[in-house]
Amino acid sequence: MIIDGKKVSDKIKSELKNKVYKLKEGGIVPGLAVILVGNNPASKIYVKNKQKACEEIGIQSRQYLLDEKTSQKDLLELIEHLNKSTQTHGILVQLPLPSHIDEFTVAQAINAEKDVDCFNASNVGKLILDKSNLLPCTPAGIIELLKRYHIQIQGKNCTIVGRSNIVGKPLALMMLKENSTVTICHSKTLELENFCRQADILISAVGKQKTIKADMVKPKATVIDVGINRNSEGKICGDVDFSGVFPKAGFITPVPGGVGPMTIAMLMKNVICAAELHLSSPLD
Ligand code: GUN
């Protein structure tokens, strides 16, 4: 069965619309500031999709499109300005950043309550302790998909391929919180196929097409594909050899139309959550 991330994300966005409406009734217009430095073509598309989602549900989105050569100091000043702005509840700096800018320093500059990506050390620390209000968007989107399709997580073997700070590592923590038994694999893992074959839930977040082939998948497993790659024909594809794996899997996410739209829906959820938190502890 194909997991329809677009359909689920549309449902979530329509649920969130009501929350935005209620916030507006209370005089709060949730606001998201999106900063893009440079001209990375994929980043431009992601930023556009985030803006479109904001418009759909009534969040005010402000875009800051900065030149590739923008200094780290100027970027930090902009973040400081947005940290103080009472109309901005969420701040997102699209990654990757140009090499002269340090991603960690930038993530640390964002006020933790406005860190809707959940990238800064304070929020990652809270995530480990199960105390974070804001959850990282892609991992949260994956768990939401599993829950909405009634796929059992508790007690299941979950293998995650990829150990990035954005997906693999936080996802492992969150699947652990859901009581699955988690294995994290990476580029230096020996005999990757053996770990994959044990998985009831197999999640690939590598960024390399055909990483997961049919003989690596346990029959009836749930296969979640986080990859966004381009194949030799220039078409978007995931990490999973979809046509080979589909007949063997119980559930599988397509690319596009699987995890991607869920990431954006969870970002919207975080912006609204940040605005609600602001209601209970206004900065001004
Ligand atoms: N680049 C790729 N994925 C993401 C994401 O989830 N957030 C940000 N800020 N940049 C990204």
Domain membership flag for residue 35 = yes
137-148 vs 259-280: helix crossing angle, rounded to 10: 110
Clarify whether residues 141 and 83 are in a common domain: no
Same domain, 161 and 76: no
How far, in Å, CA of 161 to CA of 202, rounded? 8
Residue 136 has pLDDT above 60, yes or no: yes
Report yes or no on 122 lying in a domain: no
CB 187 within 8 A of CB 164: no
93 close to 106: Cβ distance less than 8 angstroms: yes
- Do residues 32 and 63 both lie within one domain? yes
CB-CB contact of 223 with 245 (8 Å) = yes
**Residue-number span of the structural domain to which 111 is assigned:** 27-117
Residues 177-209: tens digit of each pLDDT: 999 999 999 999 999 999 999 999 999 999 999
Q: Are residues 170 and 243 in the same domain?
A: yes
Which of 34, 46, 138 is the pocket-test mutation for ligand 1 (most atoms within 8 Å of CB)? 46
Q: Is residue 89 part of a domain?
A: yes
Kindly state whether residues 108 and 57 are assigned to the same domain.
yes
Q: So what's the pLDDT on residue 281?
A: 65
Q: For residue 36, give the amino acid letter.
A: L
- Rounded average pLDDT over 231-235: 93
Same domain for 231 and 149?
Answer: yes
Does any ligand 1 atom lie closer than 6 A to the CB of residue 211?
Answer: no
Nearest to 201 by CA among 133, 146, 270: 146
Q: What is the pLDDT of residue 271?
A: 98
Tell me what the pLDDT averaged over the chain comes to. 97
Same domain, 101 and 150: no
**Are 56 and 168 within one domain?**
no
We report the CATH number of the domain holding residue 240 as: 3.40.50.720
Decide: helix, strand or coil at residue 257: coil
The pLDDT value recorded for residue 132 is 94
Average pLDDT value for residue range 59-73 = 98
- The domain spanning residue 73 has which CATH number? 3.40.50.10860
Quick one: 144 and 106 in the same domain?
no
**234 burial level (CB within 10 Å; 0-12, 13-18, 19+):** exposed
- Has residue 201 been placed in a domain? yes
Structure confidence by residue, pLDDT tens digits, 238-275? 999 999 999 999 999 999 999 999 999 999 999 999 99
The predicted model gives 94-115 an average pLDDT of 98
pLDDT in the model for residue 266: 98
Measuring from atom 1 of ligand 1, which residue has the nearest CA? 95
- C-alpha of 134 from chain center: 12
Q: Is residue 271 part of a domain?
A: no
Q: Which of 95, 106, 135 to mutate to test the pocket of ligand 1 (most atoms within 8 A of CB)?
A: 95
Please say if the pLDDT value at position 283 is more than 60: no
The predicted-structure confidence for 13-54, as pLDDT tens digits, reads as follows 999 999 999 999 999 999 999 999 999 999 999 999 999 999
pLDDT band at 278 (very low <50, low <70, confident <90, very high): confident
The band of 282, judged by pLDDT with boundaries at 50, 70 and 90, is low
For residues 105 and 64, state if they share a domain: yes
How far apart are the C-alpha atoms of 144 and 150, rounded to whole Å?
A: 10
- Statement to judge: residues 113 and 141 lie in one domain: no
Per the structure, how many domains does the chain have? 2
Nearest CA to ligand 1 atom 3: 95
Tokens of residue 97, six digits: 């950043």
% residues pLDDT > 70 (the chain): 98
Q: 144 and 101 share a domain?
A: no
Ligand 1 centre from 176 Cα, in Å?
Answer: 23
